[in-house]
A and B are shown apart, each in its own frame.
Chain A
Amino acid sequence: MRILLVEDDQLISRNVREVLERNGYLVEQADNGEDAWFLGDTEDYSAIILDLGLPVMDGLSVLKRWRENGQRVPVLILTARGDWAERVEGIDAGADDYLAKPFQMEELLARLRAIIRRSSGQASSVISVGFIRIDTRYQTVSVNAQPVKLTPMEMRCLTYLATQDGRVVSQMELTDQLYAQDFERDSNSVEVLVGRLRKKLGTDIIKTKRGFGYVLENRAE
């Protein structure tokens, strides 16, 4: 899952980034409103964590511009004041949830998971696809009730595909969601990753649509 973290406070952004990456997310950062606006409008993210108090352009203005441009990515706003006025303002501007600073990391992760789930139409933190059960909260996978150990990258890939509700995901899109920098990307990195997943899951539940991409089929909640 590729997340955009927009926060100008270096300490907070460092801590949040560490926690997100530990929990299997790919994190990109912006520390001002203008950069955030650009990235949010042009790149694909599973979710955006947006601080409202930003330099150059404030968070609410950035959010409003995204929504005006038809950008529907789920957004979790971080409010400095913590009062209801800011929350109402943020939700009215198009945010999907809010969190007041200072916050607990567990709550940040829970709210992030919830808005991502909701945007992909899921009702709970557990996604079931055929005999596969993915617990996005605890980052565990089981097949026919047998736990399967996946690397963080494999987990990220499987979760992303599982939350696309049967939609075909192109190789490029999957690459964007899984890899941060161009130098990390290899033309067949995703192919290798998908191949490893198929081996571990013991099923060809990840289908290849030649010329289009990959899809997780037989999804059931």
Chain B
Amino acid sequence: MAAPTMNAPASGVTVRMYRQGLGDCFLLAFPAAGERPFFLLIDCGVLLGTPQGSEKVRQVAEHILESTGGRLDVLVATHQHWDHLSGFEQARDVFDRLQIGEVWVAWTEDPEDPVASGLRRQRETALRALAGTVARLRASGDEDSARTAEGLAPILGFFGDLGAADGGAAGGSAIVRAMKYVVGRGKPPRYRTPGEGPLPLPGAAGARVYVLGPPKEMEFLKRSNPRSGEAYEAALAVNEETSFFAAVLGAHAREGGPAMSPEERALANLCFPFDKVYRVPVEAAQEDLFFQESYFGAGKDDVAWRRIDADWLSSAGGLALQLDSNTNNTSLALAVELVPSGKVLLFPGDAQAGNWRSWRNLGWTVDGAAVTIDDLLRRTVLYKVGHHASHNATLREQGLERMENPDLVAMIPVDEEMAHKPKGGSPKGWDMPFPPLLKRLEEKTAGRVIRVDQGLPKRPGKVPASEWKTFEERCVEEDLYLEITVAG
């Protein structure tokens, strides 16, 4: 095996944030007993539609291979979003050449877990239905529908290229394949549950890991802003969401699209509002004088402008957002603790409010002393800002405000230009980073906010030059990555 080119500090950790664009890829090097450092990789992906995204990710993967000398001790995949996992599709051959010690994923990826597989099946049905919705909206030929479709497409892009309207049903969608690949590299994969730990990093000196999320409780998991009293529902139980998905899949199947699974067919039947005797099929209605005149426009009046064939599909926007935040909430959230100093590095993935709130219920006993989330937050010196610093992936009062350490540094894997590019439904693009959050981060870190798109920050006027110099000496700026070393 080749010698690694990335070094670890004598004590502590070096954290490298790759700069492939809007997407996460963090390589951590810890000192280890042997000759080579201990390497931990968290995610590797870039947003769908990033110019030369695939090339950039491949370049990053090659660089990881070289930096680690061909061996990762632990690979962490936080959640099923393209901007976190695309590398495992786009640079699969490179990862194939990498030796991997352990694979850590969230319990929500465990095929044996009934709740997890229910969630996954819901997500897959939802994805296929939403991809089908986009196809239907585009095909309807009307301007409003096309606009709705263009608004949906970028959100679904978080799940990778869904390809045809069947949502890549055959081999699973691209994002499912990426996660499957990662899980398959674990022998066996470790499914992490909240409250676990502190887990030792096998072979690394002076570091251990607390597992914070994703929560086991459905009320925290299911929505980014959960409603009280919501309990776990069977995979395809009848509800407002599934009834919509059933309708899309049913319409598709009727028009010669892919057939529905038996479970989906049963669902679709339960979702009809009226008994069969009342339902007049389209073909029959087209022959009927009343509907010809009032709906299809065979009469003397122009009625086509008042038809509503595609209006019902517009609720997909809200459902896509819900799916997106539900998936963000399945993020494997980790706190890495440096043992002698007690310093903490927080990697929440894209955890949203529910995931953050659930951490309150956790507790650990370490060397006879109780450790709570507030202890960990208080000791946090490096915060990987969740969800590219969007507004709802960093909890305020019970999150950022409790990170009181004066040495706090924030790392944001964001590309503002890419985020602000017009995206279908939104001419101004996405609000990332969210300005009020960015401002607060800058206040809390005294300017030490390291962004993928801007490199190392400039010294704020009120920070003494000598103090800034010590910060800068800890950092490295390259075209391909940004790095900071945290002393143990």
A binds B: no
